[in-house]
Structures are given as C-alpha cells and as structure tokens.
C-alpha cells in the first residue's frame, strides 16, 4: 500500500529549516503540533485541579460538616479543624465549573485537537498564522495561572457560581468571594476569551484557505467540520461574554448600573439605579448555551472519526452528520432563554425558547441514530478510543434525553436548579465531552508522541470510569426530582430531604472510585510518552491524511510535496479494494465511483 505523497508538485516550503533552540521548540513554539501538546498538558493539569475540587464537594455533601483530613490539608484556613467552610464550598462549586467548562473542555479539548488535526487532516503545513497560534496558547496559559492564583486571595476565590450572576458577583459585601477573587476571575476570563478568539479565527481561516489539492469541503473529515463550526460559534458568542464581563467590571469598579438597581445591603442603600440582572443573564447565556456545543461538537467530531475508523465502515449519513452539526450550531444561538424560564422574563419568551430548544433534539437524534447505524454490520476494533466513543454515544443519549424535560418550560419550573439539572448537564456535556477528550488522546497519542498508549490500562480506565459515571449521575436525577436544590453546602437543615442522604453517600463512593481511577490514565499517559511501544505510521489503519505524515514530527508536516486528496475520508471496507481502508491520497481506480452521497 503506497501512501507516500506525490512528488511532481514541488513545494519550496520544506527546504528552509529554522534553527531551533530549546525555547523556540518547546516553549514559544509556533508549530501547531507542539502547541497542541502544550494545550493538552495544561488542560490535564487543570483537569486534575477541577476533579479534585468536585471530589471535595462530594465528600462534603455525603458527610456534611464532618472533619476531613483532606480538607484540612488542601483547604487550609478554609477548613478550620478539617470542617469545610460554607464560603469555600460555593467557591469550589464556582471554580470547578469554570475550570472544567472553559479550561479543560474548551481549551483542553478544542485547543488540543483543533491544533493538532486541522493542519494535518486538511493537508496544510501549519496553521494560517503560527504566531497568533502561539499567542493564543500563551494567553490561555496566562489565564490559567491567574485562575489558579485567584484561589489564594485573602477573602477567597470567586464564589457566585460559574454563571457569576450579579448582584452577588458585583458586590464585595454580598460574599467574600466577590472581592479580589471575582476581579481575578473576570481578568482571567477576559484573557481566556482573547485566547479563544485568536485560536478560533486561526482555525476558520486555516480550514477555508489551506486545504490541500482535492480536499473539497465535502471531503473533509467530520472532525474538521466539527472544529470549524465550533470555531464559528465561538467567534459569534464569546465576544458577548467579554462584553458582559466588561460591563460587570464597570459596575463593580466604576459605579455604573448596567446590571444593578435598588439594592439595600448591610444596612445601607447603594446608589445603583436602573440596571437589570436579567440583562446579564441574557448576555451570559448568549455565550453560555452555545458554550455547551463549543464543548460538545469537537467531542462528537472526534467520535465520528474514531467510530468510523474502528468500525471499518464509512460513517453513516455523512451529509446528514454535517447538516446536523450546522443545525445544532444554528439552533444553539437561539435557545439561551431556556436557562431563564423563571428569571422573571416575559412568559411568552419562555414559549419561544421552549420551541427552539426542543428542536435541537432532532439533529441530536439524527446524530445518535447515525452512530448506531455506523456500528451495524461493522467489524468493530475495540481499541480504548473506540470504547470511549461508544461510551460518549451512550452518555450523550442518557443525558440528552432529560433535556426534553428541562427544555420544557412548564416542567422546568419544578426541576430548575435542582440536582436533576446537575445530572443532566454532567452527563450530556461533562462526561460526554470528557469521553471525547479521552477518546481523542488514546487515538491520536501515536500521532502526537510517536508511541502507543497501553491498551489494557486503557480498558481498565474506560470500564471503571463508565460504571462510575453512571453510578454518580444516574441516581442524581432522582434526588433532583425529589426537589433537592443544588449548590447547598449541606442539606441537614431540611429534614424533608433526609431520605436522600444515603443516596448521596452512594454517589460520593462512585465519585471517589471514579476519580481515583483517573490515575490509571495519568500513569498511562505520562509513562507511554517515554516508554510506550514505538508507533507505526498508521496504527489504526485510518484514511485521514495525518497518518500519511512521518511519525517523527517535522516542521511543515510532510517532507516533499503536500499530499493530494482524491476521495473522502470514509472509504472503509469499500468493495473492489483489497484492504479494508483506502487513504484519502490514493487515486480513484478506473471506473471507481465516489460513493458518499
């Protein structure tokens, strides 16, 4: 099987090699492959912090106000004699959410795989602007550092929830975390948004302009479609969050009243007049809801690629998959109000948002059924990446279905802000996107590091994680339906909810086991980086272009000319071919038809 690139087009790109120093190669690198690794490692570190926080919260909920040596060690003054303080509980809620949503599942997932795969899968030498790409990573790094630093401020880190609704987030007298902690949170997020915008613009330009010869939009792998559309949603919605953050900074520091009005707190009337917290909610969720899909779409794109490759079958309904990505992206920008049914906005708006929200179920259902049909009559190679992809489809269905309840304004009245919501969004975007991240790491690890991850450790990691994820979040729906509000430091002041306490303990047990087994992944990841089995060029026998590049990373990705593309990326088990895969750079045989639509 010849997968070498054609040599008749000579590209002069590859002849000039810059001298690389340690700093330009590993730190201020402009190479997309190195930047992808930087994103991934930073994301993993942030993920460890975020998951540790969730475990501390789970321990507090299961054994409220009990001394815990871990709290004493990790929280210091916030856990006098090992008993967690109520303020720090809310801070953990806030920072866990922020870190997981933005730093792990947006930057860690999109940043890693968009950077790694866009140039490699479309056949480009690098991103359109390597320099902006480098700036994008370092801004992300800076924002991560500021977010972590905010944990150590005197009055405590931001504690108003990841949604930072004013006035709670605007008034330092409303809670300790709304002082310097919130300032740092806002600064960190503003920098994060700048980083995300630079990255997204780069992705969009690269996909539009740098596709190799023959790589039409309809031959793009679904990964690229997902990253491309994600970047567009990001460019549309992130600036709105930036403006909300800037207006909030104005309210906090310069006495404006965008979001504040008629406030009496700690014995005095404040001067604010005429603003509305509901305005902030609109601005926040105009990003906040698309953000769900910024997190989810790349995971779905990764899954599409991995399921097709490991099923040795074309992805079923390529056009429908692209159409559903576009439909989800479009709808995602007009459903934000379903977070606000009971915010005091006009009930008629609630009806409109119920309608648009439930429409999202249609493209989502198409995606789920297409994945299932892709498995049908396949020849499934159960690599760890494949297991995580199947796991993603499973949690995407379980979590997505309860969206039908939460998106329905009448039903939302009673389960809004209860544990039902926590269960829903953790399954459908948290766990699903995390599975997408894991799947991507297992699948493209050889491409990133030239070595294989250990598959048996991968199996162990997947099965324990899968069981624990359901063990944590499935029963959680039921305590939500019992009316238990989320973000309560302890439920012991409500005897009404005493019958949920045993379930809380079970959930925490699953969470602790699941959390501990992520160490298996960390071990596998870091040890395989240095001691893993050396990878072949195309270990999964995949069709996409990244596997035609040499294992050892080189600047410009391909020696000699760029590969030319003759077919879509899903010619798996195509009749008339000996092998069960036909890479995209293999020319059509005489009389062979391009069978994608």
Partner 1 sequence: MTTLLIFIIVLFVAVALWQMVKIFDLAQVGASNDNQVATDKDNRFNGYMMIAFLIFIYAITIASFVYLGDLPLMSNSASEHGPGIDNLMVISMIVIFFVQIVTQFLLHYFAFKYKGEKGRKALFYADNNTLEAIWTIIPVIVLAGLIIYGLFTWNDIMNIDESEDPMVIELYAQQFNWKARYGGEDNVLGKANVRLIDLDRANILGVDEDDPNAKDDVIVTELHLPVNRPILFKMRSQDVLHSAYMPHFRAQMNCVPGMVTQFAFTPTVTTAEMRSNPDIQDKVANINALRLDRKAEIEASGQDLTYEFDYLLLCNKICGKSHYNMQMKIVVETQEEFDAWMKEQKTFENSLN
Residues 406-435 that bind partner 1 (CB under 8 A): 408-411, 413-414, 416-418
CB of 189 to partner 1, least distance (A): 18
- Do residues 89 and 60 touch, judged by C-beta distance below 8 A? yes
Q: Which is nearer to partner 1, 32 or 574 (CB)?
A: 574
Binding mask 109-148 toward partner 1 (x if CB under 8 A, else -) reads ----------------------------------------
Q: Tell me the C-alpha distance between 286 and 333, whole Å.
A: 7
Window contacting partner 1 (CB under 8 A); options: 122-130, 268-276, 432-440, 546-554: 268-276
What are the DSSP calls for 268-336, one per residue? EE-S--S--HHHHHHHHHHHHHHHHHHHHHHHHHHHHHHHHHHHTSPPTTHHHHHHHHHHHHHHHTT-G
The first and second tokens of residue 332, run together, are 């995602």
Residues 519-578 that bind partner 1 (CB under 8 A): 519-520, 523-524, 527, 532-533, 536, 539-540, 570, 572-575
Member of 494, 554, 587, 588 binding partner 1 (CB under 8 A): 494
Return the residue matching tokens 């540790």: 52
Window contacting partner 1 (CB under 8 A); options: 17-25, 119-127, 469-477, 554-562: 469-477
298 Cβ contact partners less than 8 Å away, ≥ 6 residues apart: 109, 110, 113, 114, 223, 226, 227, 230, 433, 436
Binding mask 573-592 toward partner 1 (x if CB under 8 A, else -) reads xxx----x------------
Window contacting partner 1 (CB under 8 A); options: 71-79, 125-133, 246-254, 546-554: 71-79
- Do residues 99 and 53 touch, judged by C-beta distance below 8 A? yes
CB of 349 to partner 1, least distance (A): 11
CA-only gyration radius of the chain, Å: 24
Window contacting partner 1 (CB under 8 A); options: 15-23, 133-141, 192-200, 452-460: 452-460
Q: What are the distances in angstroms from CA 508 to CA 54, 391, 505?
A: 10, 21, 5
- Do residues 311 and 379 touch, judged by C-beta distance below 8 A? yes
Backbone angles phi, psi at 540, to 5 degrees: -95, 5
- Do residues 384 and 462 touch, judged by C-beta distance below 8 A? yes
Residues 168-227 that bind partner 1 (CB under 8 A): 168, 171, 174-176
Q: What element of type H or E holds 33?
A: helix 32-62
Q: Which is nearer to partner 1, 294 or 520 (CB)?
A: 520
CB of 139 to partner 1, least distance (A): 29
Q: Which is nearer to partner 1, 247 or 263 (CB)?
A: 263
Q: Which is nearer to partner 1, 3 or 358 (CB)?
A: 358
Window contacting partner 1 (CB under 8 A); options: 143-151, 287-295, 467-475, 543-551: 467-475
**Binding-site size, partner 1 (CB under 8 A):** 150
Residues 86-105 that bind partner 1 (CB under 8 A): 86-87, 90, 93
- Asked whether position 397 contacts partner 1 by CB under 8 A, the answer is yes
Q: Which of 443, 466, 447, 465 is nearest to 455 (CA)?
A: 443
- Asked whether position 361 contacts partner 1 by CB under 8 A, the answer is yes
H helix intervals, 150-274: 180-209, 222-254
Q: Tell me the C-alpha distance between 540 and 190, whole Å.
A: 40
Window contacting partner 1 (CB under 8 A); options: 180-188, 220-228, 236-244, 351-359: 351-359
């Amino acid at each position: 099987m010849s997968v070498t690139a054609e040599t008749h087009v000579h590209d002069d790109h590859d002849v000039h090699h810059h001298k690389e120093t340690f700093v330009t190669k590993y730190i201020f690198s402009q190479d997309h492959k190195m930047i992808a690794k930087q994103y991934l490692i930073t994301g993993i570190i942030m993920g460890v912090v975020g998951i540790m926080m969730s475990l501390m919260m789970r321990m507090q909920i299961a054994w409220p106000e009990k001394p815990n040596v871990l709290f004493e060690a990790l929280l210091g003054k916030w856990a006098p004699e090992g008993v967690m303080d109520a303020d720090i509980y809310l801070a953990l809620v806030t920072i866990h959410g922020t870190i997981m949503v933005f730093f792990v599942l947006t930057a860690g997932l999109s940043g890693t795989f968009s950077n790694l795969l866009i140039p490699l899968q479309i056949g480009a030498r690098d991103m359109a602007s390597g320099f902006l790409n480098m700036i994008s990573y370092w801004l992300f790094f800076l924002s991560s550092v500021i977010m972590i630093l905010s944990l150590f401020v005197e009055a405590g880190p931001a504690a108003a929830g990841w949604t930072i609704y004013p006035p709670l987030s605007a008034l330092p007298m409303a809670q300790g975390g709304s002082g310097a902690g919130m300032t740092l949170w806002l600064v960190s997020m503003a920098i994060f948004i700048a980083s995300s915008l630079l990255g997204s613009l780069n992705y969009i330009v690269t996909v539009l302009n740098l596709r190799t010869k023959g790589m039409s939009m309809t031959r793009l792998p679904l990964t690229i479609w997902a990253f491309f559309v994600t970047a567009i949603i990001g460019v549309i919605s992130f600036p709105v969050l930036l403006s909300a953050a800037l207006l909030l900074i104005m309210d906090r520091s310069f006495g404006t009243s965008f979001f504040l009005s008629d406030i009496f707190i700690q014995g005095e009337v404040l001067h604010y007049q005429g603003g509305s917290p509901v305005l902030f909610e609109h601005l926040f969720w105009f990003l906040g809801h698309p953000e769900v899909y910024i997190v989810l779409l790349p995971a779905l794109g990764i899954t599409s690629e991995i399921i097709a490759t490991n099923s040795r079958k074309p992805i079923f309904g390529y056009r429908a998959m692209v159409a559903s990505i576009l439909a989800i992206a479009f709808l995602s920008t007009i459903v934000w109000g379903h977070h606000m049914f009971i915010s005091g906005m006009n009930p008629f708006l609630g009806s409109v948002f119920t309608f648009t929200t439930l429409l999202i179920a249609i493209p989502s259902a198409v995606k789920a059924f297409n994945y299932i049909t892709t498995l049908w009559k396949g020849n499934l190679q159960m690599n760890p990446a494949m297991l995580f992809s199947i796991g993603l489809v499973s949690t995407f269905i379980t979590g997505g279905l309860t969206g039908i309840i939460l998106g329905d304004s009448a039903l939302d009245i009673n389960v809004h802000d209860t544990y039902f919501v926590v269960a829903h969004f953790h399954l459908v975007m948290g766990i699903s996107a995390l599975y997408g991240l894991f799947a991507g790491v297992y699948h493209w690890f050889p491409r990133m590091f030239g070595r294989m991850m250990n598959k048996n450790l991968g199996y162990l990691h997947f099965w324990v994680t899968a069981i624990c994820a359901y063990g944590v979040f499935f029963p959680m729906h039921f305590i939500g339906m019992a009316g238990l509000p989320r973000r309560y430091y302890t439920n012991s002041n409500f005897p009404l909810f005493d019958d949920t306490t045993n379930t809380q303990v079970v959930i925490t047990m699953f969470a602790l086991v699941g959390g501990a087994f992520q160490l298996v992944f960390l071990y596998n990841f870091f040890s395989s980086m240095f001691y893993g089995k050396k990878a072949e060029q195309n270990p999964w026998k995949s069709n996409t272009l990244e596997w035609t590049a040499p294992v050892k990373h080189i600047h410009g990705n391909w020696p000699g000319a760029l590969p030319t593309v003759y077919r879509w990326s899903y010619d798996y088990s195509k009749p008339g071919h000996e092998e069960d895969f036909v890479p995209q750079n293999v020319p059509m045989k005489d009389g062979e038809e391009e069978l994608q639509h």
